[in-house]
Amino acid sequence: MFTFLTIVVLGISAGLAQDANRPIVETTGGQVQGITASCGLFCSYFQFNGIPYAEPPVGDLRFRNPVPHGGWTGVRNASNHGENCPSLSVFSEYSGDEDCLFINVYTQNIIGSLPVMVWIHGGAFIAGSGGSRVYGPDFLVQENVVVVSFNYRLGILGYFSTGDSHAQGNWGMKDCVEALRWVRDNIAAFGGNPNDVTIFGESAGGAAVHYLVLSPMATGLFHRAIAQSGTALVPWGFQYNVAELSRNIADIFGYPHDSEELTRRLRSTPIANFIDLQRMPSDIPIPRGFKPFEFVPSAEPADSPEPTFLTQRPIEILRAGTFNHVPIIIGYNSIESLFMVREHFIDSTVWNEFTRNPQFFVPHYWNIPVGSEATGAVSQAFRDHYWQDQALTPDIMVEWCQFHSEQQFIYPIDKTVALTAKANTQPTYYYQFSFDGDLNLLKGLLRLSDYPGAAHADELPYLWSITNAPTSPVLPGNHALTVRQRMVRLWTNFAIRGNPTPNSDTDLQNINWAPVSGDDLAYLDIGHDLVTGSRPNHERLDVWKDLEERYANNPFYYPYQ
């Protein structure tokens, strides 16, 4: 019987091994067998999905640094993506599985040494996954790069910290590092060059890319970086109050405050119970949409027991210039926060709060005393600048969204560019995506086409084939397809040569996207056309700069210097 089974198994393996559509690749963990996927007419590529890159972070491995995967015997079927990491759905349910640390490789050729692009998905550090139904690599793989995506721990499982040696935090960021180590050790077997790795990501994924640029733990694991609509300086991207947050968590669950005991109890708490975290109190009395996220990267204690990802605040590393100097592209969309445009219909109390209490216009992270003269001055300056001090009515919704965009994205990203370029010994490229067309993702999903500009996540379909979002078909001749070709070419040029517009390139309107040098922030506007300029949106951003310099008192936030 045993012999019979062995023969059958060997026979199947041998049969599959001969299948050119299902190649088998040898990895450090064992063999994986991919599938062939379509990228359009006469276009195909291989997908190797759901390869475990770390041990399942379960049981005693919850709230610990990822452990490289121990491997498997036989041929692992890499047809399907692995489970998503647990995340809270809009229906207040947890979906996904804690055994979620999987990586996916997409390549047209497993023989060769092509540049590699590793994607870090977004989702506010609490949601999302690297799967190809959201992030289909159809356009990228056709440009002679190997594309990689992966899952990393989210929410409390990704970022719980006691601020001391018992739970040092940044688990999700360390998953990213572990995934990059897997790429270093394995990508050659898939036709990729481990010495030519570009990391790129959007929103929380953009912030994660920037965190990897800041982290000594990630040094040498990548060679270029692209941060889209998120950096470590955004007010929603860094948790500086982990001790207080961990006490709040203890109170919600009725667990002791003692970090060791709290961590022990949380290690054995079923993930379904983490729904209770929705009752999280906020010590910052600011309206919905302006509150920072709880479970995001933080600074680990320098004497942490396990290797650290980050021990300083992002702003300190940026100002000291002690980050990983690599060619980098950083940018944002022109009206990121357009998703807030119906806020007063959805929750009318938000606008009432602002009307009653204009100090809500003062960025909380500037730490200006409530009720002070400075608070009044900052609030008035913003209201004057953005909507000429009109009352908050639907007439000024767009201007309010622009203010929100600056608060949450554009101002801190602009500052990141300035500080990065100052110290970076490699080129720093700056862009604004402003194209308003038929592929814009969020505007399509939320039916925002009446409003001009590009909202958060709108650029994603210009890089990825997104098949799980209900978008209207775009017909040949639509300018959105041209913009997509340009964007894909800029990004892959950068991944291949470290320069998005190398001189030899003539099919991108012959533009030269120059890196930032000095204070005159050169940038590329990716709109209907590609247009170069300097100091994007400076009329608005100068107002922010000036107010921050004059009034901010914060140990956590610094002016441009």
Ligand X SMILES: *[C@@H]1O[C@H](CO)[C@@H](O)[C@H](O)[C@H]1NC(C)=O
Residue 19 or 389 with smaller CB distance to ligand X: 19
Query: At closest approach, how far in Å is the CB of 16 from ligand X?
Result: 6
β-strand 102-107 against 87-88: which pairing, if any? unpaired
- DSSP notation for 341-398: TTHHHH-HHHHHHHHH-GGGGS-GGG-PPTTSHHHHHHHHHHHHHHHTT--SSGGGHH
Using the contact rule CB under 6 A, the part of the chain among 73-81, 89-97, 463-471, 513-521 near ligand X is: 73-81
Kindly provide the residue ranges of all beta strands, DSSP E only, lying in 9-74, ordered along the sequence. Answer: 24-27, 30-33, 35-40, 43-52
Of 18 and 268, which has the nearer Cβ to ligand X?
18
Shortest approach of ligand X to residue 79 CB, angstroms? Answer: 4
Minimum CB separation of residue 398 from ligand X in Å reads 47
Q: How far is the CB of 433 from ligand X (least distance, A)?
A: 36
Q: Which residue's CB is nearer to ligand X, number 13 or number 165? A: 13
Choose the binding region for ligand X from 77-85, 251-259, 382-390, 450-458 (rule: CB under 6 A).
77-85
Interacting residue with ligand X among 44, 79, 348, 468 (CB under 6 A): 79
Report the number of secondary-structure helices (H) and strands (E) in the chain: 16, 16
**Number of other residues whose CB lies within 10 A of the CB of residue 503:** 8
The span from the CA of 143 to the CA of 436, in Å, is: 25
- Cα–Cα distance for residue pair 227/232, rounded to 1 Å: 10
Task: Name the one range near ligand X by CB under 6 A: 76-84, 234-242, 309-317, 351-359.
Answer: 76-84
**Dist. CA 146–CA 315, nearest whole Å:** 33
Nearer to ligand X, 24 or 232 (CB): 24
- Choice between 44 and 79, CB closer to ligand X: 79
Of the pair 49, 416, the CB lying nearest ligand X is at 49
Nearer to ligand X, 71 or 74 (CB): 74
Q: Which is nearer to ligand X, 17 or 275 (CB)?
A: 17
**Shortest distance (Å) from residue 146 CB to ligand X:** 22
Residue 77 sits in the site that holds ligand X (CB under 6 A): yes
Task: Tell how strand 114-120 and strand 146-150 pair up.
Answer: parallel
CB of 9 to ligand X, least distance (A): 11
Could you tell me the smallest distance in angstroms from the CB atom of residue 78 to ligand X? Answer: 8
Shortest distance (Å) from residue 414 CB to ligand X:
46
Q: How many CB atoms lie within 10 A of CB 48?
A: 26
Cβ proximity to ligand X, 32 vs 157, nearer residue: 32
State in angstroms the smallest separation of the CB of 48 from ligand X: 12
Of the listed pieces 75-83, 243-251, 315-323, 474-482, which binds ligand X according to CB under 6 A? 75-83
CB of 38 to ligand X, least distance (A): 16
Instruction: Provide the minimum distance between the beta carbon of 19 and ligand X in the complex, in angstroms, as a whole number.
Output: 9
Pairing relationship of beta strands 192-202 and 146-150 according to DSSP bridges: unpaired
* Total binding residues toward ligand X, as defined by CB under 6 A: 4
In what helix (H) or strand (E) does residue 222 lie, and over which residues does it extend?
A: none
Closest distance between ligand X and the C-beta of residue 71, in Å?
18
Q: What is the distance between the alpha carbons of residues 47 and 37, in angstroms, rounded to a whole number?
A: 7
Spatial separation of the C-alpha atoms in residues 46 and 34, rounded to whole Å: 6
Stretch that binds ligand X, among 72-80, 158-166, 389-397, 443-451 (CB under 6 A): 72-80
The yes or no reply on residue 21 touching ligand X (CB under 6 A) is: no
Report the nearest approach of ligand X to the CB of residue 15 (Å).
9
- Residue 273 within binding range of ligand X, rule CB under 6 A: no
80 contacts ligand X (rule: CB under 6 A): yes
158 neighbors 309 (Cβ within 8 angstroms): no
Q: Identify residues 195-254 at the interface with ligand X (CB under 6 A).
A: none
Q: Is 118 left (phi over 0), alpha (psi -120 to 50) or beta?
A: beta
Contact criterion met (CB below 8 Å) for 32 and 72: no
3-state secondary structure of 543: helix
3-class SS shares of the chain: helix, strand, coil, % to 5: 35, 15, 45
Nearer to ligand X, 47 or 440 (CB): 47
Q: How far is the first Cα of the chain from the last one, in angstroms, to the nearest whole number? A: 75
Find out whether 277 and 156 touch, Cβ atoms under 8 Å. yes
36 lies in the binding site for ligand X (CB under 6 A): no
Our CB check for ligand X shows the closer of 9 and 43 to be: 9
What is the spatial distance between Cα 561 and Cα 543, in angstroms, rounded to a whole number? 16
- Nearest residue to 21 via CA among 48, 57, 61: 48
In the bound state with ligand X, the residue whose beta carbon lies nearer, of 79 and 510, is 79
Element (H, E) at 441: helix 441-445
Closer residue to ligand X (CB): 21 or 517: 21
Query: Helices in 194-278 by DSSP H: which ranges?
Result: 204-214, 242-253, 259-267
Task: Write out the residues near ligand X by the rule CB under 6 A.
Answer: 16, 77, 79-80
